[in-house]
Every structure is written in structure tokens, then in C-alpha cells.
Amino acid sequence: MSAGQDIVFAPGDRVLVTRVHPPGHRRTPYYVRGKVGIVERSCGAHPNPEELAYGWSGIPPKRLYRVRFRQRELWPDYAGQGDDTVDVDLYEHWLKPVHASGHDGATRSGKEGTI
């Protein structure tokens, strides 16, 4: 496995989804940008779909992670159960680690390290 394919995040890691709005085709939903979730699993390394959309090679591959979010943290008016979650597949270049001492500017409620 090359350096570009090393697993950066492990299941249970807290991650912040970068809040940027670049032009063009992006696979990261707006509703998770700037939010903190928990890595549920690594889904392997794949060609970057944001480059493939423009006919480029998508190389080097990017690692894809399944990240879990509490629905109430994504949508404050969500009327379902408080522990309802949604899983979103996100590529590594959209994610930043959230350290136990802080969370890099994102907001999050609930118990540390759980979703």
C-alpha cells in the first residue's frame, strides 16, 4: 500500500468534515460540511471521483471512510429519536482529526467519542 493509501483514521475516531465550497462536482453533501462525526469504517482506497468527473485519472487513490452523524446535529428540527444516525461515505481529503482536547471549531453535543 502506498503512502497515499495508508489508513489515516480508525473506527471510533472523531473527524471534522471540512467546511469549504469549491466549484464543480463534489461528492460531499453540504449538510455534513463543518460537522463532527465518528468513523464507522474504512471502505478502502479508490480513484478520486471528484477528478474522475472531469475525465482525469483520479490517481492517486483516496481512502474512503463511512462516517456516522447524529441526525439532530445535522438537522436541529429533526423530530425522530435522539439517537438516530445517518452514515455518509466521505473521502479522506474532506476529513480532519478531532482531538480530545478540542474540536477545531466545530460544534458537537453528546458523550465524548460516541454517536
* Total number of domains constituting the chain: 1
Confirm whether 81 is domain-assigned.
Answer: yes
Asked if residue 106 belongs to a domain, the reply is no
> Is residue 107 one of the residues assigned to a domain?
no
Q: Does residue 115 sit within a domain?
A: no
The end-to-end CA distance of the chain, in Å, is 30
pLDDT 10s digits, 41-84: 999 999 998 899 889 999 999 999 999 999 999 999 999 999 99
- The pTM score is 0.80
Q: Is residue 93 situated within a structural domain?
A: yes
CA atoms of 51 and 55, how far apart (whole Å):
7
Question: What CATH number is attached to the domain comprising 31?
Answer: 2.30.30.50
Task: Tell me, yes or no, whether 84 lies in a domain.
Answer: yes
